[in-house]
Chain A
Amino acid sequence: MNVEFPIVTGYFERKDRSYILGEGSSNAVEVDHDFIDKIPLKKPLDGVFGHSSEGDNVFAFNYGPSTGGFMESLDLKIFTYGERILSVEAFPDFKRRDITLKGKSLRDAFFIIERFNGFHSFSYSTLFSRAIESIENISPSPEDTGTRIILLETERIISHIYKAARLCDAASQNIASYWLLSLREKLLRILGEVAGHRYLFGVNRIGGLNRRIDVEKLRKDVESVVQEFRVIMKGLYSARIFIDRLENTCITDAKNTRGPALRAAGRSFDYRTLDPYYGDMDFKPITERDGDSLARFLVFTAEVDASLDIIKNTKSVSMEDVSKDPKSDFPIYSVETPSGDAQLTLKLESGVIADAYLRTPSMLNLDAFCSGIKGNVKTDVPFAFESFGIWISEIGGIQ
């Protein structure tokens, strides 16, 4: 069966059958094998992006896997004849963690997913627990659901602040960078205080939350941090030297990107608009048109404000009326992580995981980075890379 999706965001194979994930769809759809071959999606873990170049004087400039430049282990082969980048081939498989969920108990699987991407840990733990809750028909209390949204948005704010700090660091805007880092640290300390862990490990559980969270305090503190963040942004938006470095750097189109990168390229897609958690909220995705690093920067810094609005307005969300869709073999569960929407398909058999596939935004964004960076110069690499919020840990193999 071949289907028409507006945008295919991932695919996987199970028992010699191929499935694809589409944007905004709630089911993984089975397709022919040949159909998979035609999809322009790449397999990041195999290290094959098809971006290598050749020509007179062209050589591969190696960057990585272990450098101080990237937060994680990533190897880039920059094809160039000096300065100008003809193409970039990325090899994220150096730190490939082959994580096996199959046959794991729900609790162990939950802890693994929580430590899948530590930086966006709460997003993934929420995604996983929501999938289980949906399958097992568990309804968390409305207060817990509301708190989850608040924590999700707090995590998003932290992630965006960190991205902004990394961009400033790359552009040698050291004062702004350290200031932003101190804001992030302030938020992490607040989380440590109210939730018991700076990265929110152990806060979530299937069916609710483990710890009582002082939402009012969190709300107040996040608001003060965001206010300070606005002051810094006002400075950065007018810092010519900073803007010049981001403008026209790594221009991507809306194809095969996720999250802020997608919205910066002009597509108004944010899974939160479809997410029943955010059901009643009057939430509009923030978009920009240019698709360059500056556009991404503008999108995610504006999202900090949007997230604060959500945090301020969320009280409690009742999930009683959320419909479940068990028709397909592989229903898709999604959540909008700070880097874009993650999609999870899950199958349980007698209380243990039988099958799982997780499509993370970084899988697509890394390819978008590789395509977009063509034609830039080598010094643009950090300005391009940090603007996506790519986490290599997300590009791991989940069995």
Chain B
Amino acid sequence: MNTVLILLFSLSLVIPFISILRPRISFSFGILITLILAFASILAMLRFIPMMAVGIGNFNLYFSLANSPFIFIISIVELIVFAISLRYLRDDKILGFFIGLTVASINSVLFSDNIILFLMFWESMTVSGYLTIGYKKESKAYPPFVFIAFGELSTIFLTVGFAAYYFSTGSMTLGAPLHNPYILMVIILGFLFKMGIVPLQMVEWLPIAHGNSPVPGSILFSAAMTTLALYGIVSFVEVSTANIVIGLLLMGFGSFSLLFGSIFALSSENSKMLPAYSTVENSGAMIMLVGLFISWKFYGNMEMEIFTLLGVIVYATAHAWAKSAVFVLSAISHDFSLSFSKGSKLRPFSKLSGAFAVISLMGLAPIGGGIGEWFLLESLFISASSNYLILSVVAILAGALAALGIGITIPTFTKFFNYLSTRKEDDPMGTNINSTISTAGILIISISILSPGFIYMFSYMSSYILGSSAPIIFLSTLKAIPYPFLIYSPSLAGGFFGFMSPVFIIMIMAVSTLVIVPLSLTRKHTRSLPVWNGGIDQEGTFNSFAYANVLRIILRKIYLSREEKKGEKYVERTFDIFWLIIVDIAKIFTILSGKFARAFMNGRINAYIIYIIAAFFTVLILLII
């Protein structure tokens, strides 16, 4: 079995090196590997293959219930990354290498069972991710510098946290129970920085929206790395002693992040910045679920523990896949400004797939994100109705903020989808995304159609990982809906609290569509008319900036938007208030660390490459010996 594990681990390490020779082959190879990994992790979650662990010195790898769901989620994301790279990067060897390296690092983090190994791959992921984005940089140095500084902040917290973890538990491997809440909090913070939670959201949007950053890199940043950070948090929280304060804090952080993320997303004009802010929002939701998980763990309600953990994983799945699809959609246009987007033509099914993705991110049932949203809201409602006063108060407050934020995502993604998928003039610079987005669309809709399967698999896994004697599967039957097509949430008094059936909703929608569409097509008296524009021809278009300007005017204090008149021209400028503060801090930081930076990170890209590769191999060799 150890051979299988080492094989699974090392497969992805090969990808970057093939890329140096032939990028396209490496991408195709990557697709194959991600499929293998996804399949293996399904088997692992259902306990068809036993838990595997291997250790050579400190080089510990494992493949078990704890990391298999995340390997499953992330390998699908990587599949989409490689699929779009085939079209988007074509024969770009350097970029292909960096993408491969980032993927390899991410997978290595997932397989690591040792804190040093974990940290090392984490760092290699940060730097290679940065190189993916920064190597074509054109603008002045400080935005990427701010990014790397805050990215490193995550590493610093993790290093400190892991060191404390070692001294507290005496174990170098992951999965030792941690009883000290402060250490746990430091570790969680380290991961939160990587997730780009408010007020450090620029860790998320800056690298993605910046300059020539490639779309596959954005997907890795937004979907894969966020999920990876979530994995980090979950894997530590699962085994540690629960602390209600941490639980409530995370709920607070999460709701705040959710609200601000969605507010900033709506006003974004950049087709990559908007989904990046949306990731900030979704990270918030996932953090809230983790907070709920910790709280229920503290109160010792096993059923709710499993339910909230299940929620985390369902949410993470829906988010990661839909977010990947949304970034694929942004690749359609050469120009990343929403108002000026144009690109190649979308096939009807591709358009539908894009719609699945954005509806999922809007959190509307029955698409995946809607199921995740349902888990979040049900957990909040159940918590609000519990006997634990502090939990119910925080659940209500955090839930109110979350509901506000969730509502805003609907116009956000309506705008995003509308400006990217309609009004297309053919632009040879745009990427043909039809096959990739169709694949992603099928994956996203499969979450709903195969929801009983997904819920069964994740419930099963969650039950065993939390040490439940028998698996609690949140599937049931009700009236006309046969088992297992009903998902339910547990009531604290026993029985159902609420339920939903994505399959049933989809069936009703599909049947009614099948009835309505033929009927409407057979109608004889149909005319198509131009838009009524007061009687004159349509001229000028409602641009995407205007779409969000209501909010911009209402929330002037948050956006710090200003109307300026330069000569005869009007300019409205919007700033992210947190970003302004961070930039100020960064400037001070830049001055202070000027000498250090000049000596160590001298701005030449080669130095970074040498640094990462050297570090990578040194540590590998050291560990193996």
Contacts and interface: CB of A to CB of B under 8 A. Distances in A.
A and B touch in the complex (CB under 8 A): yes
Interface of A: 53-67, 75, 80-84, 86, 377
Nearest to A79: B570
Contacts of B542: 59, 61
Interface stretch (B454-462, B465-473, B531-539): B531-539
Interface residues of B, number: 27
B540 A56 contact: no
28 contacts: A53-B570, A54-B568, A54-B569, A55-B565, A55-B566, A55-B569, A57-B339, A57-B543, A57-B546, A58-B569, A59-B541, A60-B540, A61-B542, A62-B540, A65-B535, A65-B536, A75-B536, A81-B570, A82-B545, A82-B546, A82-B548, A82-B549, A82-B552, A83-B549, A84-B549, A84-B553, A84-B563, A86-B570
B563 to A, nearest CB: 7
Contact of A57 (B536, B565, B568, B572): B572
A36 B547 CA distance: 42
B550 interface: yes
Q: Determine which residue in A54, A55, A60 has the highest number of CB atoms from chain B within 10 A of its CB, and name it.
A: A55
Contacts of B546: 57, 59, 80-83
A81 B535 contact: no
B571 A82 contact: no
Interface of B: 339, 533-536, 538-543, 545-550, 552-553, 563, 565-566, 568-572
Nearest to B571: A56
A80 B539 CA distance: 14
A59 B535 CA distance: 19
Contacts, number: 73
Given A55-B565, A86-B570, 15 more contacts: A53-B570, A56-B569, A56-B570, A57-B545, A59-B541, A59-B546, A62-B534, A62-B540, A64-B535, A65-B534, A65-B536, A81-B570, A81-B572, A82-B548, A82-B549
B271 to A, nearest CB: 15
Nearest to A74: B534
User: Which A-B residue pairs are the 9 nearest by beta carbons?
Assistant: A82-B549, A82-B546, A55-B570, A57-B545, A66-B535, A55-B569, A64-B534, A83-B549, A59-B540
Contacts of A81: 543, 545-546, 549, 570, 572
A310 B565 CA distance: 49
B534 A66 contact: yes
Contact of B553 (A63, A86, A377): A377
A56 B550 CA distance: 17
Contacts of A66: 534-535
A373 B566 CA distance: 20
A67 B569 contact: no
Contacts of A61: 540, 542
A60 B552 CA distance: 19
Given A57-B339, A84-B549, A62 B533 contact: yes
A63 B549 contact: no
A61 B539 CA distance: 9
A307 to B, nearest CB: 36
Nearest to A84: B553
A75 B533 CA distance: 10
B161 to A, nearest CB: 45
A382 to B, nearest CB: 15
B543 A59 contact: yes
A195 to B, nearest CB: 36
Contacts of A58: 569-570
B602 to A, nearest CB: 36
B46 to A, nearest CB: 51
A82 B553 CA distance: 9
Nearest to A58: B570
A60 B533 CA distance: 13
Contacts of B571: 55-56
B540 to A, nearest CB: 5
B416 to A, nearest CB: 16
Q: Determine which residue in B534, B536, B563 has the highest number of CB atoms from chain A within 10 A of its CB, and name it.
A: B534
Q: Determine which residue in A59, A63, A64, A75 has the highest number of CB atoms from chain B within 10 A of its CB, and name it.
A: A59
A59 B565 CA distance: 15
A64 B532 CA distance: 10
A89 to B, nearest CB: 12
A54 B567 CA distance: 10
Contact of A82 (B533, B547, B568): B547
B335 to A, nearest CB: 14
Contacts of A60: 539-540
Contacts of A67: 534
B549 A56 contact: no
A59 B571 CA distance: 12
Contacts of B566: 55
A55 B571 CA distance: 6
Given A81-B545, A82-B549, A377-B553, A63 B534 contact: yes
B310 to A, nearest CB: 41
Contacts of A64: 534-535
A80 B566 CA distance: 16
B550 A83 contact: yes
A65 B537 CA distance: 11
Nearest to B573: A56
A83 B536 contact: no
A370 B620 CA distance: 72
Contacts of B547: 82
A61 B538 CA distance: 10
B542 to A, nearest CB: 7
Contacts of B541: 59
Contact of A75 (B534, B568, B570): B534
B535 A82 contact: no
A184 B539 CA distance: 39
A59 B566 CA distance: 17
Contacts of A53: 568, 570
B561 to A, nearest CB: 10
A23 to B, nearest CB: 32
A26 B539 CA distance: 46
A159 B552 CA distance: 39
A236 B307 CA distance: 56
B568 A62 contact: no
